[in-house]
């Protein structure tokens, strides 16, 4: 029997993909917005594909803000963009 692979929906393209292949943004219990590279931080999470186009769509539609139920600071978007660029380079 094959092990079940967790799937999550991208907030940009709305496609379901493997959880490990995506970037997680978390609203922690203290209200702070963080990037979660381990996938284990406590709090409400939302996922985005490691693709700049998905990030642009998620930002334009404000789907991350709706999912996390709080405004997302611009520096979180810029950190996500830098992380995506570094993943694509290496």
Contact 80, 35 (CB under 8 A): yes
The size of the chain, in residues, is: 90
- Give the residues across from 45 on adjacent strands: 26
Task: State the pLDDT at residue 1.
Answer: 79
d(CA 76, CA 66): 15
The fourth-level CATH superfamily of domain 7-89 is YlxR-like (3.30.1230.10)
Q: Closest Cα partner for 23 from 13, 10, 14, 33?
A: 10
Task: State the pLDDT at residue 87.
Answer: 83
pTM, 2 dp: 0.91
pLDDT in tens, the chain (90 residues): 789 999 999 999 999 999 999 999 999 999 999 999 999 999 999 999 999 999 999 999 999 999 999 999 999 999 999 999 998 776
Domain residue extents for the chain: 7-89
Task: State the pLDDT at residue 20.
Answer: 93
């Amino acid at each position: 029997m094959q092990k079940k692979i967790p799937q999550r929906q991208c907030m940009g393209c709305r496609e379901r993909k493997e959880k490990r292949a995506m970037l997680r943004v978390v609203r922690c219990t203290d209200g702070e917005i963080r990037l979660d590279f381990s996938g284990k931080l406590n709090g409400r999470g939302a996922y985005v594909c490691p693709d700049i186009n998905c990030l642009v769509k998620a930002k334009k539609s404000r789907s991350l803000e709706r999912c996390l139920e709080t405004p997302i600071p611009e520096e979180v978007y810029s950190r996500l963009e830098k992380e995506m660029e570094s993943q694509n380079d290496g």
